[in-house]
Structures are given as C-alpha cells and as structure tokens.
Structure 1
Amino acid sequence: MEIERTIDSREVTELIGKAHKELLRDIRKYVSVLTSANLRSSDYFIPSEYLDAKKEPRPCYLLTKIGCDLVANKLQGPKGIEFTAVYVKRFEDMEHYIKAETPQLSSTKVQLKALLEHEEKLERLEGDVTELKNEIDLTRIQKKRLSDIVRHNAMEAVGGKKSEAYKPYYKIAIAENWRSIKNYFEVASYEEIPRLRFDEAVELAQNWSPSAELKMNIKKCLQQLALM
C-alpha cells in the first residue's frame, strides 16, 4: 500500500469548498511571502501539473503537511475542521507506513532530528503567518476607499452623471483606471494588492487621468451633442 507524502491541491479544493484557481492564487501568494522570508517554499508547496479532459497540462500544487497547516490556518467553520481532520489523518497514516516499511527511520536519532526540524519550521511559520496577514489582501475598508476613488475619477472624466458621455464611457473609464492600477502592481485583481502598499495604491488612483484616446472619445461625444 502506497501512502502519499503530499495532498494534491485539487483534492484540497474539494475539502474546503473553494475553486481550484482561487486556491492556486492563494498558494502563489504564500509562496511569494515564504520566498521573501528566505524560507524554502517547496517545503510547503511543490509545483506540479495534471492533464485536463483535453489531455492538456494544467498547473497544480502538492501540499506537504506544513503546507496544509498554512492553508488550514486561514479557514474557519466546518470546512476548516473537515480539512484539518482529513489531512492530519492522511499524514499520520503516512508516518505509520514509513515506520513499518523502513524501520531504520524509526530510530531515536532520526525521529529527534525530524522533530527538531519540524518545530523550527513551525516557529518560523507562526511569525510568517502573522506577517502574511498584514502583507496580502486589502481590508474591506481599504477596498471600498480605493473603489470610491476610481468611481470618482471616472465620473469627473465623463463630466458627471447627467453628461451625455456618462452612459457610453463611465464604465470604460472605470475599467481603464483599474487596469492602470493592476498593471502597476502586477496583479490580476486589485484585491491582491499588498495591504502594506495601500497608500501607494491610493496615490496612484488619485493621480490617474484618462488616456488620450478616451479623452478624445468623450470630447467627440460632447461635440456631437452640441451640434444637434
């Protein structure tokens, strides 16, 4: 009987009720923070691939026990309890298997070394998790403030809600503003902007102005109205 040493991220998503692409996004943020802290991210998350229904390779991760610890730390409620119960049992079975199949690994010396290494990693992880909470994801209040600034910018760009340019170009102005912010921070969503860089995001949003193309389109829209 082969006992796995890791858990596939696809199986984790089934246990925690989260879309696989969302879990991959979270893991990539964890890997970034671990790397910045000079921790070997492969001790937690091992990059891997699987073949989808079209036999095309897709990314996934193999989670070690401490990788599961990190994911479980972010969960609450029944899903968090269920996931913790499953992965703890899985790794306990793996440890029993190793002891039964490779007695030399059960020596006191090897066990003590593994225990000390694990405790050291957990101590580092506790500090990293605290830092991680402050470094990833904006707070709800921060998201709202940033969103308010973007909407205000768009409203000014089109000349107000009563302007003829409002309906065709208000949402375009919002999208252009968000795109400039996401490109600057190199994120797929503004929600991934590091919390500690919020002030920088606010300054960037406040200094936004429409592109030359958007300004021209708004101007043409208003000129056409004036000629009617």
Structure 2
Amino acid sequence: MSEIVKTTNEDIVRVSSREVSVMMDIRHDNLIAKIEKHTEIFKKVTDLKNKVSDLWIESTYKDSTGRTLKDYKISKKGCEFLAHKTTGEKGDLFTIKYMDRFEEMEKSLKKQKVLSPMEQLKLQYQVLEDHEQRFEKIEERLDSLEINPHQKRAIQRAKSKRVVELLGGRKSVAYKDASLRAKVYADMGRQYNNYFDISEYAYTPRNRYEEALELIATYNLTVELSMEVRQRNNQLKFL
C-alpha cells in the first residue's frame, strides 16, 4: 500500500490512506472525511490551494469484491499534518508509527541506484549483446549437430549415384558384381569417415552437409579398384 510518486523535483514516498488509518487506529471512511474536510479549507486559501498535493493526492483501489473505492496517497508531510491534528496518546503513537514507516521506505529507496540515461543505454546494449552471444552459441550447437534424416537419405543417394558412375552404369559387368560393388562402397565409406574423422556417415556434422555432398561427388577409385573395375568390364568384350 506504499509507493513512490515521481514529481518534477523529487521522488516523494507516499502511503495509502488505508495504511494510515490502521496506524491512526480509526476507520478508513472517517480518515477520508477528515482529509476532504481539510482539503476544502485549503482550497479557500489561495496560497494553500496548490499545496494540497504536497500532503496527499486522491486515488482509487479495488476491494476484495472488485469495487473501485476512493483512496488517498499520503506523503510524510501529510502524515505530519494529520499527527498535529491528533491529540493525546493516539497522536503520539501515530507519530512513532508513520516516522518508522517512512524511514523504512526511504532507506529502501536509497538502496535503489538510479541509472543515468547513458548507464541505461549501456545496460540495454549489454543485455542485447548477451542475447546475441547466446543466439550465436545456440546456432553453433545446432550446426554441430549430426545430419538429419533427410540429409542422410540425400547422402545415401549421392553415394549410390557416384558408385554407379564409377562402375560404368547399372548395366555394367562391374556393377552387377556384388563383391566388387561392395568393395567400392567400403572404400568410399572409409575415405569419407577418415575425412570427417567419424565412425560412420550418420555422424556427419550438419554444418558440413554441403561439403559431404561435394566430397562424394569428387570421390575416385583407388588405383587397384580402378584396374579391377576396368578388367571386369573388359571381360564382356572377349565373350
């Protein structure tokens, strides 16, 4: 029920009239009536008319049933005024209570560092920079992930296409030789895994997917395999 109201010259700490009524040990509606009575008197005096807001400002609040009811935000100066108008033991107790309350709030206010416009800009920039660094790390982690199922299938197709080309086509004797075809796939897989330093193609880094396709497209047989494929395909000429 307390708040800090910003004015042109200073931060004024105010408490709700509901809280003040508890400190004064009177009904809230009676305190409202007392405040409005003094306000009417001040308004009749030109020099005091504009001073009312230094004491209290009218406000509203919602009760537990959702009704909007009148409330006042009372400054320390306003509490001092009300204390002067309260005689006897109640006045003394109220003075102690409101002084303790405002001291507590003012200490809390001092702990809150007010940033200059430049400091606010620096803080905003730092927040943005931190977010950007986080996004970069996330992107790096995503890029370092393994290829997805779609990319795996594309790599498999690229391997098959290259093997067909190197063996002389699907109708070639070399391609129809399952043993020789398996040797070519094995050699391609071995070179591929060594290049990426992985145990199998499924672990290909996602951010090197295009590089993987290029590697497959430029793969060539070893001298031994090349000779074996040539010999196997040449057998048809002598049949």
Bigger relative contact order, structure 1 or 2, given CA contacts below 8 A and separation 6+? 1
Larger CA Rg, structure 1 vs 2:
2
Question: Which bin holds the TM-score, normalised by the shorter protein?
Answer: 0.3 to 0.5
TM-score, normalised via structure 2 length: 0.40
TM-score, normalised via structure 1 length: 0.42
